[in-house]
Structure 1
Amino acid sequence: MSLHIPPVHVPPDGGEPVYLVGDTYTTLLKATHTNGELSLVEAIMPADAGPPPHTHHGESETFIVMDGQLVITAGDEKYEVEAGGVVYVPKGVRHSFRNLSRTKPARIYFLYTPGGMDAMFTEIGTPGVRGQVGPSLNEVDVKAMAAVADKYGFTFD
């Protein structure tokens, strides 16, 4: 038996944007859109910003750099990635990333397989505006992420 999954179109001003930990995350494809196969989230990351090292235990993450330049550390490897570059991080691999610019935001797509991580952003983020840099990093967001880490299968290392 196969499930019929309808096509999904997200226009350039679409998706569900939220502000979280100083970034703006816009969910473009939810796991519920893809029968759990994948999730796609756009991130606008401020200059010289990025999360601490962490590990996703239930899904792999693919980084697609759209604008800017990142340094992505995955396991023992470090990659400097410019716009158009892609890095795949299998589940269970410790990783972190940082916007190398000191003045400009970076825009990245995160592709999660299987899907589901997208729900974390909408659950704990505050409503935002797609494409805009969000408010500064705050402790409330950090605590909220730590509180849902078990639910979404990730750890800060």
Structure 2
Amino acid sequence: MSGLAAQRATWLAGALVEERLGGSATGDALAVLEHTVHLGYNSPMHRHTDDDVTFVVIDGHVELTIDGELHVAGAGSAFWLARRSVHGFVVASPRARFLTLHSPAGSDRFVTEAGWPALIVDGEREPHQPDTVVQRSPDRLAKIAAKYGIEIVGPPPTLRA
């Protein structure tokens, strides 16, 4: 089981990523991450070589490109990405929240290593990434990603729809 006290919150390149269920709680069978992002936030095109990913939009709109096909995803949309599927996304609404479920776990450790811990003040997560966080270099991010079976294969997508 995982409770609020066991969860981690991490800033990763401008996204607030909250670990809802980490590999340490599931024997590395599964990790569940909640992402809170803003308009225009995007991920580089990448693939997971070691895990399958389920992507579930909680609120907002995301343009998700999977193996070259564009999907405009709103609240309630869900996509299963088999390992090695090339994918990336860009946020198409002022704010979006989505879950990524990784089976097996490992991406949760990538987020922790590549990101910056988010502060909790009076039980509330900080509302935005602090100015003191230095943007990580793409080369550094790619090296850390490779340790966890994530290959960066292209630049991030831009808004299309």
TM-score range normalised by the length of the shorter chain? 0.7 to 0.9
CA RMSD of aligned residues (A): 2.1
Q: Which amino acid aligns with 2:136?
A: V
1:96 counterpart (65, 68, 88):
88
SS at match of 1:91: coil
1:126 counterpart (106, 116, 119):
116
SS at match of 2:136: helix
Partner of 1:44: 36
With over 3 angstroms needed to count, the CA separation of the structure-2 counterparts of 1:116 and 1:77, relative to structure 1, is same
Offset of 1:32 from its aligned partner? Answer: 1.2
Q: Within the alignment, does 1:144 sit opposite 2:156 as a pair?
A: no
Q: Within the alignment, does 1:33 sit opposite 2:33 as a pair?
A: no
- Alpha-carbon separation, structure 1, partners of 2:137 and 2:18: 16
Give per-residue Cα distances to partners, 1:92-149, cap 9 Å, x unaligned.
0100111112xx2210111001111101111221111548343589642534322212
Q: Which runs of 5+ in 1 are unaligned?
A: 1-7
Give per-residue Cα distances to partners, 1:13-57, cap 9 Å, x unaligned.
862111111111111111110111110001111111111100110
- Alpha-carbon separation, structure 2, partners of 1:131 and 1:107: 16
Counterpart contact for 1:23–1:135, Cα < 8 Å:
no
Q: Percent identical across equivalent pairs?
A: 26
Q: Which amino acid aligns with 1:72?
A: L
- Alpha-carbon separation, structure 2, partners of 1:87 and 1:131: 29
Q: Which runs of 5+ in 2 are unaligned?
A: 120-124, 154-161
Q: Name the count of aligned residue pairs.
A: 147
With over 3 angstroms needed to count, the CA separation of the structure-2 counterparts of 1:142 and 1:21, relative to structure 1, is farther
With over 3 angstroms needed to count, the CA separation of the structure-2 counterparts of 1:58 and 1:131, relative to structure 1, is farther
- Alpha-carbon separation, structure 2, partners of 1:17 and 1:111: 16
Partner of 2:3: 10
- Alpha-carbon separation, structure 2, partners of 1:80 and 1:144: 30
Q: Tell me the TM-score normalised to structure 1 length.
A: 0.84
Counterpart contact for 1:124–1:141, Cα < 8 Å:
no
Q: Which amino acid aligns with 1:68?
A: G
